[in-house]
């Protein structure tokens, strides 16, 4: 077998050998770098999520059913969805029909029709079985 011989170092050509080390990094630098990276990540997450520090809604309200508010109702047969939902436009939150903070419907419209509830005191549970697809 032939063994490969290590090349001989010529001290005149190569000069002398200097051992290099990695630059020193202190523990404090490592901790502050990690903390800054975590802060940047938290800022990105905060910018991407809605956090209004408000409760979703309260079941008992001082104004009762006297408030008028607009929201978006998405019906599932028209969209590729599993259930009908409400979308709160001020926060972007979604609610199922049976757990929404809304009391009644005064009007609904789409691109073809405008439906008006003549009895706005009716509860939401009584109104939602209605068929809004009549043209």
**What ranges do the domains of the chain cover?**
72-127
Measured CA to CA, the distance from residue 32 to residue 22 in angstroms comes to 20
- The whole-number average pLDDT for the span 107-129 is 80
Q: How far apart are CA 55 and CA 22, in angstroms?
A: 52
- C-alpha atoms less than 13 angstroms from C-alpha of 57 in its C-beta half-sphere: 16
**What's the whole-number average pLDDT of the chain?**
76
Q: Tens of pLDDT along 83-117?
A: 888 888 887 888 887 777 777 788 888 888 888 88
- Cβ distance 127 to 107 under 8 Å? no
pTM for the full predicted model = 0.47
pLDDT > 90: what percent of the chain?
Answer: 10
């Amino acid at each position: 077998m032939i063994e490969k011989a290590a090349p001989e170092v010529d001290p005149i050509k190569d000069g002398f050998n200097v051992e290099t080390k990695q630059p020193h990094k202190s523990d404090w630098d490592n901790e502050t770098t990690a903390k800054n990276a975590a802060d940047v990540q938290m800022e990105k997450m905060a910018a991407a999520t809605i956090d209004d520090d408000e409760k979703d809604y309260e079941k008992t309200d001082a104004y009762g059913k006297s408030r008028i508010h607009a929201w978006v109702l998405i019906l599932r047969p028209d969209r590729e969805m599993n259930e009908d939902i409400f979308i709160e436009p001020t926060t972007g939150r979604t609610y199922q029909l049976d757990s929404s903070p809304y009391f009644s419907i005064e009007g609904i419209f789409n691109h073809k029709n405008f439906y008006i509830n003549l009895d706005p005191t009716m509860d939401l549970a009584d109104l939602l079985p209605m068929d809004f697809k009549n043209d």
